[in-house]
Amino acid sequence: MAGLLVVLIILGCAVQQYLKSTFVKSFTTVIITICAAIVAFGYFEMLAEVFTGRGGNSRYPALIHWAQPLSFVLLFVLAFAVLQTIAAQLTRHPVDLGLWPERIGRVVCGIFLGLILSGLLLTALAMAPLANKYPYQRFDATSPDAEKPNKVLLNADGFATGWFNIVSSGSFSGKRSFAALHPAFLDQLFLNRHNIDDNISIATSSEAIEIPKKKAAWPAPQDLKDSKGKPVSPKSGHNLTIVRVGIKKKAVKDAGTFTLSQLRLICKQKNYAENPLAGKGKNIYPVGYLKMVNQLQEKRLNDQIKLERADFDGKIKWIDFAFYVPKNYLPVLVEFKQNNIAMVPPPVTAEQAPPAVFFIQLSKCATDIAELEAISSAKVYGVELAAGPELLAGLRLKINDPNQWRNAQTADSIKPAQFEDGKINYVRAELKIEESTQDEAKAPKFTRKKSWKKRKGIPAMLKPLKGYRLLSLKCNNPSTGVAIKAEQLPVLVELSGLIHRPVGIIASGKVDDQIVYEVDYRSLTAEDIADGLTIAEDGSVAKAFPDTVWLTEQAQSISEFYVLYLVKSKRNAIITLVQPADSQMTAGFKEYEGFLIK
């Protein structure tokens, strides 16, 4: 469609100039068109800021996405009309250069005029919030590659923007060169709106990004791994560089959802990097961001990143993006979406680099239940992590009240359950579930509050500390014969690196042709009961409980195995890994980047 449009415009201009004009007027029209295009390219962003606002809310929010294309067209039309009026007064007297010079000259000028006008039209359409396939599909819809753009017939839009880049980077550039601010301008436009069909904003109503004034860029760590734990592949002739970009909370409505194709790093050759706004630049797009310590979360250009207000600890959310910067080039600018730009200070060395900022999207995290990646190099390893309504999902132990619990406890229990308002504070018990007896019916009723009636079963009996949430890790069925020590139970690793140790286990196994349950759990701190849980300053459990899982020594087989954890819930803690204590390997989640504890 775009190619047909180019052909029609060129043919129309050639015919119109041949039939209705002279060579001198045709040539003058071409020059006027070039001058009007220079005005449009040079000042459309300045005029667009009237609609989008600068540093505050937009005055015309309905025009935010249309501000740049409308400004571009308006400036071109006005400049063309003024210059054409002046030229008409200067060329009132006809000039005839002869039959063939006139015929050939008019057609040639008409072809150039059509090429320029069609290129300008396609450029204006590329600025507009149209579907990705309009005016043509410049990049692959499913996996765009910034280095492999498709081109329209005769590269009309590339011709229109290319010569202006040449002009703007030369003696006409002034203090701000278009070639420095917008290298590969068409690629920027098309990649910026590549996911517009997903309702992703292409512009923001206020300033959305910020770059640290110091230590904003530095070399990536040498031992950086990808999301699969493998060393990040190097790129020939490039250095992997980390650049810290901040998204402002006040702009989260427009800037909270974006793709990596909307974030670009402008680099310049080292010899010309002193003045970042002059000369020529080079677009570099991110390959991912730092997810955890020495781990890069690789992303495609059309992968979406979603920020929610809960992601912000303050006014700015910092993310460390990774870019392959060509050797002998330095990052000088960061551009975001259509109308945000910030300067990057000179990069620092790896030794001067600030502590890394780790990031996981809350929208990519599980909140109730998540399956873990398979790992079998440990005695006990996690299979599924759960919280909330999915806590202990699948557990076959069906005890609904303390009376039933007390009847199931055996004389071999190390420490019978202690209840408070129908909830367990402390227990190391052996349970055997049998049919109800008359003695059970005569047992005194356990008093409980009305709220206890709404929640029944084991999950309701487990009492977490105030301000904490209880998590259950369903594990493999470990082999029997030797008791499992607390140090062999898996630990949860938080995004910050904080480690969470177990506060209990629930396991079932076959002992002498009978199903026996072991339930070990503690919920109170050392200040509340002797030998209770010790909570460290960082809020984690300082020592795992229980000391041993003795059922694994007594049972012929294990049928269920759950490990319990306490994690603070007054902040958005994100569990990223589950590590068996006696293994060097860690397991992530199959369908999620993390597990969110709200």
Region 417-438: what's the mean pLDDT? Answer: 80
- For residue range 29-79, what is the model confidence (pLDDT) as tens digits? 999 999 999 999 999 999 998 877 655 556 677 788 999 999 999 999 999
DSSP string, 317-353: EEEEEEEEEETTEEEEEEEETTTEEEE-PPP--TTTP
Provide the mean pLDDT of the chain: 88
Whole-angstrom distance, CA of residue 265 vs CA of residue 336? 9
What's this model's pTM, rounded to 2 decimal places? 0.82
Whole-angstrom distance, CA of residue 239 vs CA of residue 556? 57
- For residue range 140-178, what is the model confidence (pLDDT) as tens digits? 999 999 999 999 999 999 999 988 888 776 545 556 789
Tokens 């194709």 correspond to 261
Extended beta strands in 203-262, E state: 209-210, 217-219, 238-248, 257-259
- For residue range 86-122, what is the model confidence (pLDDT) as tens digits? 998 887 767 666 778 888 999 999 999 999 999 999 9
pLDDT of residue 210: 96
- For residue range 495-526, what is the model confidence (pLDDT) as tens digits? 888 899 999 999 999 998 889 999 999 886 64
- For residue range 209-247, what is the model confidence (pLDDT) as tens digits? 999 999 999 999 988 998 777 899 899 999 999 999 999
Residue spans of the domains in the chain: they are: 2-185, 202-359, 365-597
Whole-angstrom distance, CA of residue 265 vs CA of residue 438? 77
**Chain centre distance of CA 282:** 24
Give yes or no for residue 561 having a pLDDT over 70: yes
pLDDT of residue 313: 80
